[in-house]
Chain A
């Protein structure tokens, strides 16, 4: 039919072709050719150069989980200190550094990266693609995350860790009151981490809009995708605020500018605005994808589709829209005008509406379904309960008058842990139980799984519910000890015991992972009998993901026959083959109509080196090694130019001029 020859050029099969179409059963020539094309270098070379989104996703998950454990150990040390009044296990300065590093680790180095891990691993699988839009950027994003994490911990062993809390208010974090390297490490580390988060967000957004399987129109994508998309857009818009804030602070501290310098007209509240303009959307960025995990995985255990897909998708975005205009609720006690407090208080309360939409959708899904009480289900159901408790205390602190009473008390600590652990950690652990068979090909142990859930759930509530009471009794947050005359002894003891029980729950989970990795029951491609695309391929998936790029006709490609919502059926075994090198299909943003055959880059060392040089550049900034900074800037430039150099194999260059000698480069793969 309409072969769209450009009017003045002969069709050239290097620039345009009819993509091969057909089937590729396991063991077929096509399938073996794909396996050969997409396989990664063996050994350490592959380790440094891989751009496979699955490998990168697993690395993200493991690295972020290690940070969770580190942050957890810090928390346990603090709980040991606070279990009894007048303890001297920690000095005040040590306590400051511990609670600061605990916050930084959990919020920046665990909570979002772990979700990036899920999304990296799952996006192409959920969307029916062979890779992310920018595989090398994906690798870069991981390396910088890793280096930024190491960077922020570099001063910890020296007893010089960041010590002004994770939101790092000036003037305490400014050059006058905080003279050591503590805050500089945090400031530069955050700018560095911001690069990683930003390029990661760009990758998710472009992948969603350009790389969906044909027929997967925008209203057929899984909810996890909506969650990560919303979070990524928010990151794109708000990360610059915090990167700028930290950069300005570093300039104040090291160069002598006066942005936050009260004596010279600078404004400490500017810090709070810039930080929370970022900080509050970030809170949603670290929960919305996790809520997406639940929205996608919970229905599998209820044996029916999610109730209210459209409502949940819209609620996800509405939450974020509100999330942009609530930052001042972190600043209610700073003396802002009443009108401002009212508006931001009202917006904060309004967030309960889209949140409730999602909660009722989950409840209705359980209610109308036939729940199967497997471990992931327990975690997801537990999440709903914790979300409701955390949401209610959220509405309470959104009320300005109550906020003034509860500001800087343990009530706020209780609230934020209910929402962050409840909405992030529980879905994450549930998600690992759910996708572990896909990651590894083996099921996790169900008995240990149930134990891990109940120990975690009981420990969690024992640890964090009493914190509400401690707050109402007036216990301020961030104090390193207290006197027994204050009447806080019992609640603190219960909290400390609960936190150790919770940690035992995490330990059981880790033991389960170790055992199941070796001895878990082999999982087939779809052990849970789930509905989405990732379960249509083998576990673990092959390097190329889909031998045949599927054609999608509904939201539940694997449940179409039983749901019988329409006469259309997705085609999973017949579709585009695309075997001429690393190729996948690019589709239109809304309708997912095929538009272009995308050439994907193969393994490359460049992302590792760019990440390394950028990180060393920040090391140079920390120590003021100006010539070293110059060398690293040049090194970054050179590696980036190599990265960007137009390649024939990616069809970024013309094929007509002076290429007869090397034209085979692109085709021999």
Chain B
């Protein structure tokens, strides 16, 4: 019976990517990605057949959305760095960067709320409005949940729960946040860049 050496010592419990939680969040990301794929399918399916002015206000202004996209991506970088500093055993840096990520995430939400407010239509006024607010609303929900997750990670980091050997929660919460950010790129490309493809 020499399938493996049973005298080898094994890590115990939630060891980063060996944990079941890591696999669980990857599965969650698969199913959530599918959800956004269907949302965007809905958008393209309806926009391809519409006879309405699309988008109703004409081509969308890109300045604020691009700035907001950069803010969101920056928050992903700082979440990544926060995890990196745990491995380097520099918990203070890690805490600081996690706080920064949360501030960036909240900024994204605030700017997006202003964007919503500026729209001349709402969810019920026309088909485009239904799509725009449902899709960005779905994404907003994910950002808010992500911010709550990051806040929890910040609390747990501050309580000294994690060190270089046990911080699976940060790895798991972090990859969820990266997912929320990457999905935004697809949403952004669909809602803001795609309308320009017709006008070229």
Q: Which residues of A pack against B, CB within 8 Å?
A: 1-4, 6, 8-9, 11, 14-19, 21, 133-134, 137, 198, 201-202, 205-206, 209-211, 214-215, 236-241, 243-244, 248, 251, 255-259, 261, 264-267, 270, 273-274, 277, 551, 553, 568-569, 571, 576, 585-586, 593-599, 637, 641, 644, 646, 650-658
Q: Are A265 and B38 in contact (CB under 8 A)?
A: no
Nearest B residue to A9 via CB reads: B165
Q: Are B30 and A259 in contact (CB under 8 A)?
A: no
Tell me the smallest distance from the CB of A576 to a CB of chain B, in Å. Answer: 7
Tell me the smallest distance from the CB of B2 to a CB of chain A, in Å. Answer: 9
B90 contacts the other chain (CB 8 A): no
Q: Are A652 and B12 in contact (CB under 8 A)?
A: no
Tell me the smallest distance from the CB of A241 to a CB of chain B, in Å. Answer: 5
Given known contacts A240-B31, A596-B13, what 13 new A-B pairs fall within 8 Å (CB)? A9-B164, A15-B12, A15-B166, A198-B31, A201-B31, A215-B4, A259-B131, A264-B126, A267-B46, A650-B13, A652-B13, A654-B163, A654-B165
Q: Are B3 and A214 in contact (CB under 8 A)?
A: yes
Nearest A residue to B49 via CB reads: A267
Tell me the smallest distance from the CB of B162 to a CB of chain A, in Å. Answer: 6
Q: List 15 A-B contacts (CB under 8 A).
A: A16-B10, A17-B12, A137-B24, A202-B27, A205-B27, A255-B123, A257-B123, A258-B124, A267-B49, A273-B41, A568-B1, A576-B6, A646-B161, A650-B13, A654-B165
B120 contacts the other chain (CB 8 A): no
**Chain B positions 36-77 with a Cβ under 8 Å from a chain A Cβ:** 37-39, 41-42, 45-46, 49-52
- Contacts A265-B51, A646-B156 hold; do A244 and B35 have CB atoms under 8 A apart? yes
B140 contacts the other chain (CB 8 A): no
**Chain B contacts of A244 at CB under 8 A?**
35, 38-39, 42
Instruction: Mark interface residues in B1-18 (1 if CB within 8 Å of A CB, else 0).
Output: 101111111111111001
**Chain B positions 90-138 with a Cβ under 8 Å from a chain A Cβ:** 123-124, 126-127, 130-131, 134
Tell me the smallest distance from the CB of B67 to a CB of chain A, in Å. Answer: 29
**Chain A contacts of B19 at CB under 8 A?**
596
How many angstroms from the CA of A652 to the CA of B13 in the assembled complex?
6
Interface centre among B4, B9, B41, B166 (most CB of A within 10 A): B9
**Chain B contacts of A205 at CB under 8 A?**
23, 27
How many angstroms from the CA of A215 to the CA of B8 in the assembled complex?
15
**Chain A contacts of B185 at CB under 8 A?**
none
Q: Are A599 and B39 in contact (CB under 8 A)?
A: no
Q: Are A236 and B31 in contact (CB under 8 A)?
A: yes
Nearest A residue to B37 via CB reads: A240
How many angstroms from the CA of A463 to the CA of B32 in the assembled complex?
42
Q: Are B123 and A597 in contact (CB under 8 A)?
A: no
Select A134's contact among B24, B39, B162, B168, beta carbons within 8 Å.
B24
Tell me the smallest distance from the CB of A411 to a CB of chain B, in Å. Answer: 30
**Chain B contacts of A597 at CB under 8 A?**
10-13
**Chain B contacts of A637 at CB under 8 A?**
148
Q: Are A237 and B34 in contact (CB under 8 A)?
A: yes
- Contacts A646-B161, A653-B166 hold; do A258 and B3 have CB atoms under 8 A apart? no
B189 contacts the other chain (CB 8 A): no
Q: Are A596 and B38 in contact (CB under 8 A)?
A: no
How many angstroms from the CA of A215 to the CA of B2 in the assembled complex?
10
**Chain A contacts of B1 at CB under 8 A?**
551, 553, 568-569, 571
Tell me the smallest distance from the CB of B170 to a CB of chain A, in Å. Answer: 10
How many angstroms from the CA of A598 to the CA of B169 in the assembled complex?
15
Q: Are B7 and A18 in contact (CB under 8 A)?
A: yes
How many angstroms from the CA of A2 to the CA of B9 in the assembled complex?
8
Tell me the smallest distance from the CB of A115 to a CB of chain B, in Å. Answer: 19
Nearest A residue to B27 via CB reads: A202
Tell me the smallest distance from the CB of B169 to a CB of chain A, in Å. Answer: 5
Q: Lowest 3 CB-CB distances: which A-B pairs, in order?
A: A651-B13, A240-B35, A257-B130
Q: Are B45 and A273 in contact (CB under 8 A)?
A: yes
- Contacts A202-B24, A214-B3, A214-B4 hold; do A258 and B11 have CB atoms under 8 A apart? no
**Chain A contacts of B23 at CB under 8 A?**
133, 205-206, 209-210
Interface centre among A237, A257, A594, A641 (most CB of B within 10 A): A257
Q: Are B127 and A264 in contact (CB under 8 A)?
A: yes
Q: Are A215 and B34 in contact (CB under 8 A)?
A: no
Interface centre among A1, A210, A244, A658 (most CB of B within 10 A): A244
Q: Are A651 and B14 in contact (CB under 8 A)?
A: yes
**Chain A contacts of B126 at CB under 8 A?**
258, 264-265
**Chain A contacts of B14 at CB under 8 A?**
599, 646, 650-652
Q: Are B8 and A586 in contact (CB under 8 A)?
A: no
**Chain B contacts of A11 at CB under 8 A?**
9
How many angstroms from the CA of A576 to the CA of B37 in the assembled complex?
44
**Chain B contacts of A264 at CB under 8 A?**
126-127
Nearest B residue to A206 via CB reads: B23
How many angstroms from the CA of A45 to the CA of B31 in the assembled complex?
33
Q: Are B18 and A596 in contact (CB under 8 A)?
A: yes
**Chain B contacts of A16 at CB under 8 A?**
9-12
Tell me the smallest distance from the CB of A619 to a CB of chain B, in Å. Answer: 20
**Chain A contacts of B6 at CB under 8 A?**
19, 21, 576, 594
**Chain B contacts of A4 at CB under 8 A?**
8-9
How many angstroms from the CA of A276 to the CA of B139 in the assembled complex?
25
**Chain B contacts of A657 at CB under 8 A?**
160-161, 163
**Chain A contacts of B37 at CB under 8 A?**
240
Q: Are A215 and B9 in contact (CB under 8 A)?
A: no
Tell me the smallest distance from the CB of A267 to a CB of chain B, in Å. Answer: 6
- Contacts A251-B130, A655-B166 hold; do A17 and B10 have CB atoms under 8 A apart? yes
How many angstroms from the CA of A646 to the CA of B156 in the assembled complex?
8
**Chain B contacts of A256 at CB under 8 A?**
123-124
Select A593's contact among B4, B11, B31, B124, beta carbons within 8 Å.
B4
- Contacts A237-B30, A241-B38, A652-B168 hold; do A259 and B46 have CB atoms under 8 A apart? yes
- Contacts A244-B39, A586-B20, A651-B166 hold; do A215 and B52 have CB atoms under 8 A apart? no
Tell me the smallest distance from the CB of B145 to a CB of chain A, in Å. Answer: 9
How many angstroms from the CA of A637 to the CA of B152 in the assembled complex?
11
How many angstroms from the CA of A31 to the CA of B141 in the assembled complex?
48
Tell me the smallest distance from the CB of B184 to a CB of chain A, in Å. Answer: 18
Q: Are B42 and A133 in contact (CB under 8 A)?
A: no
Tell me the smallest distance from the CB of A350 to a CB of chain B, in Å. Answer: 24
Q: Are B169 and A238 in contact (CB under 8 A)?
A: no
How many angstroms from the CA of A653 to the CA of B19 in the assembled complex?
13
Tell me the smallest distance from the CB of B88 to a CB of chain A, in Å. Answer: 11
Q: Are A653 and B162 in contact (CB under 8 A)?
A: yes
